[in-house]
Amino acid sequence: MSALPPEAYAAALAGLPAMTVHRLGALLRHHQPELAWQVALGSAAPQGLMRKVMADPATRAAIVRQANAASPEQTWRRCEALGSEVLVSGSARYPSLLAADPLPPPVLFALGSLDLLEGRRVAIVGTRNATAAGREAARSLGEGLAHAGVHVLSGLARGIDGCAHRGVLSAGGAGRPLGVVASGLDVVYPREHRDLWRSVADGGLLLSEVPPGVTPQPFRFPLRNRIVAALAEVVVVVESRERGGSLLTANEALDRNVPVMAVPGNPTNRAAAGSNALLRDGAAPVLDAGDVLVALQLDHRWANASAATERRRPPSRDERVVYDIVRHEPRTLEGVALAAGLELVDVAVRLGRLEIAGWVSQADGWFEVVGSPAP
C-alpha cells in the first residue's frame, strides 16, 4: 500500500455502508485513522467502545467484508480530483461548531471556503413541494439576508431550499450560500440542481459527511438535517407539511437551543401546516429578512464559530448518577441499570438526555462518555 495521508483512511471508513455515524465516531475516538482502517480490515484489535461493537459477529463480519472490498487509495484519488477537503473530527481545521455538537460528523467533506463559518449564519428550510408564495418567500429571504452579509444554509433540496440559495446568489451581497447535502459531493441530488451545486461550491461552501460516489439514501437526509441545525444561529422554516423533513431540522435545532422561526402561511394551505404549527407552539414569525436580522442581533451565542465555548448544559444530579457509571467503561442500558440500582425506564430517560446534551455517545446499545469531563 502506497503512503497515504490519515484523511484517506478516514474518508474510506466514512464510505462503508455498515459504518454508521455512531460506529465511526467510536472508532475514530479511540484509533488514529490508519489504525482504525486496520481495525475495520480485521487485522488490528479494536479499543474502547469498538471492542463491544466488534464483538458482535454479524457486525464485525459486515465491516470486515466491506473494508476488504474498499480502497482508501481510490477514495482519496476521487477526493483529490474533486478538490474536496477531508476533515476528521479533532483535527485543526474541523469546524468547532460541529466539534461541540452532540452528534458531530466523524468525517466531513468540504468544497469551498470553510472561513464562511465564521460569519453570521441562518438556515432556510422547507418543503420540496412548495407553493409559488413559499418559493418567493424563500427567494426574498435569501436575497435580503445576503444583502445584509448573512450566510444562508440549506440542504439544497428542491423547493424552498433551492429558492433560498438562488436568492442568495442573485443578491450579489456579502452573504454566501452554505449547503449541506446527503450524498457525496460529486453525486448531485436532485439532478436539476447541478448548476446550483456548482455555484454554491464556487461561491460559498458545500459540505457532506460521506465521500464522493455515495448516493443519497433516505436515511441520510435526517442525518444531513442535524448538521444544518448545528451550523445555524437561527433556523427559518418557510413552508412545511405536518410531517415534513424541515420539521426534523427544526427539532434538531431546538435540541441544540438554536432559535426556530417560521413564515406564516394560509391556514388552508397544507404545505404550510407544519410551519403554522411551529408558530402556534411559540416560534417567532418571519415576514421579511428584517425579522431574522433582529433575531440575530439578540442572539450572539454561536456567532463566532471558532470560539471554544462549552455548548452542553451541565448534567443534572439524577443524570450524574448514570454519567459516573459509564465514565469508567462502556456499558449497556441494562448494565447501567444494574450498577445504579435503577429501573430500566429511568436509566433510559437519563442516558437519552445525556446523549442529546452531548455528554455520552452510544453505538449499538453501548454507552460511553465523550468530550471533556462534566464539571
Residues 51, 165 within the same domain: no
Q: Which of 252, 268, 298 is the last residue of a domain?
A: 298
Span 98-120, average pLDDT: 94
Cα 323 from Cα 113, distance rounded (Å): 38
Q: Which pLDDT value is given to residue 375? A: 80
Span 93-100, average pLDDT: 91
For 343, the domain range is 317-369
Cα 138 from Cα 236, distance rounded (Å): 9
Residue 212 lies in a domain: yes
Residue 97 lies in a domain: no
Q: Which pLDDT value is given to residue 189? A: 94
Q: Which pLDDT value is given to residue 264? A: 95
Q: Which pLDDT value is given to residue 299? A: 63
Residues 22, 145 within the same domain: no
Residues 355, 274 within the same domain: no
The least confident of 19-33, 263-277, 310-324 is: 310-324
pLDDT in tens, 292-323: 999 998 666 656 555 445 667 889 999 999 99
Cα 9 from Cα 225, distance rounded (Å): 25
pLDDT at 169 over 50: yes
Whether the CB-CB separation of 205 and 112 falls below 8 Å is answered with yes
Residues 233, 271 within the same domain: yes
pLDDT at 327 over 80: yes
Residue 167 lies in a domain: yes
Q: How confident is the model at residue 161 (pLDDT cuts 50, 70, 90)?
A: very high
Q: Which pLDDT value is given to residue 136? A: 96
Whether the CB-CB separation of 228 and 237 falls below 8 Å is answered with no
pLDDT in tens, 357-368: 889 999 999 999
Residues 159, 254 within the same domain: yes
Residues 129, 162 within the same domain: yes
Residue 90 lies in a domain: no
Q: Which of 239, 263, 298 is the last residue of a domain?
A: 298
CA proximity to 312, closest of 103, 93, 116 = 103
Whole-number mean pLDDT of the chain? Answer: 93
pLDDT at 183 over 90: yes
Greater pLDDT, 311 or 373: 373
pLDDT in tens, 120-154: 999 999 999 999 999 999 999 999 999 999 999 99
Q: Which pLDDT value is given to residue 300? A: 62
Residue 88 lies in a domain: no
- Cite the DSSP H helix spans in 90-217: 96-99, 132-147, 160-171, 194-203
Q: Which pLDDT value is given to residue 1? A: 44
Residue 101 lies in a domain: no
Residues 292, 344 within the same domain: no
Residues 130, 63 within the same domain: no
Residues 202, 350 within the same domain: no
Span 340-354, average pLDDT: 94
Return the CATH number at 117: 3.40.50.450
HEC letters along 230-268: HHCCEEEECCCCCCCHHHHHHHHHHHCCCCEEECCCCCC
Count structural domains, the chain: 3
> What is the 8-class DSSP label of residue 131?
-
Beta bridge partners of 109: 86, 208
Q: Which pLDDT value is given to residue 308? A: 46
Residues 202, 262 within the same domain: yes
Span 328-353, average pLDDT: 94
Q: Which of 45, 67, 82 is the last residue of a domain?
A: 82
Q: Which pLDDT value is given to residue 243? A: 83
Cα 331 from Cα 368, distance rounded (Å): 7
pLDDT at 341 over 90: yes
pLDDT over 90 percentage in the chain:
86
- Cite the DSSP H helix spans in the chain: 6-14, 21-30, 33-41, 49-53, 57-69, 72-82, 96-99, 132-147, 160-171, 194-203, 220-231, 245-255, 273-280, 289-298, 317-326, 333-340, 344-357
Q: How confident is the model at residue 159 (pLDDT cuts 50, 70, 90)?
A: very high
Residues 11, 57 within the same domain: yes
Residues 140, 248 within the same domain: yes
Return the number of other C-beta atoms located less than 10 Å from residue 335's C-beta.
17
Return the CATH number at 351: 1.10.10.10
Residue 105 lies in a domain: no
Sign of CA dihedral 31, 36, 38, 43: positive
Residue 183 lies in a domain: yes
- Centroid of chain to Cα 241: 22
